[in-house]
Every structure is written in C-alpha cells, then in structure tokens.
Amino acid sequence: MSQTAILEKLREELRKIEENLTRLEAEKKNIDEEYSAVLDEENKILEEMKKCRDQYQYIRLEMRFNTVSRRRKEIEARKTEIERKIRGYSEEKSKIQKRIEYLKPRS
C-alpha cells in the first residue's frame, strides 16, 4: 500500500472516532443533567427526612429516598461507563494523530 492510501485510511478512522467522541460527549452531557436532577431530588428528600416528625411519613420518605438513590447509582454507573469510553476514544484519537503526523511526507 502506498503511503497516501494509508494516510487516507487513517484520516477516515480519525473522522469516525471524532464522530463517536462528539456523540458520546453529547450523551455525557445529558447524563450529567439527569444525574444532577436526581441528586437534587435526593437532597430534597433528605432535608424532608430531617424535618419529619411523623414516623409513618418518615418511612414513606425513606422508601422514596431508596428508589431515588438506586436510580442515582444506576445513572452514576452509566456516567462512568461513558467517561471510560470517551477516555478510550481520546487515546485512540491521539495515537492516530501521531501516526498521521509520522507518515506525512516531509517537505
């Protein structure tokens, strides 16, 4: 294979990786917004629990807190997975960019 064909192939891979990165970053932004909303809700329930005097109401709040907390943990797991993917794509992108720089003809 000639160097130009290799360079074109690398540039195509780089373009695909950049598209995936932008998609993942948009997804991460959505997950961050969802996470902050759930965290706010969780904090609000905790405040209500601190002020609560009725045992029945406290138990209901505790059940709500448990479901919100579980949802927050699920979102957190998705968030770390997306961050790991972004990190992997970023590393791959930098490797390809270095290879492209190395293979570029010197003038």
Residue ranges per structural domain of the chain: 3-102
pLDDT at 100: 87
- Residues 96, 79: Cα–Cα separation, whole Å: 26
Q: Is 97 helix (H, G, I), strand (E, B) or coil?
A: helix
Nearest alpha carbon to residue 27 among 73, 79, 74 = 79
In the chain, how many H helices and how many E strands?
A: 2, 0
Mean pLDDT of the chain: 93
Token look-up 């993917």 returns: 85
29-79: pLDDT as tens digits: 999 999 999 999 999 999 999 999 999 999 999 999 999 999 999 999 999
Mean pLDDT of 77-85: 97
* Cβ-contact 86, 25 below 8 angstroms: yes
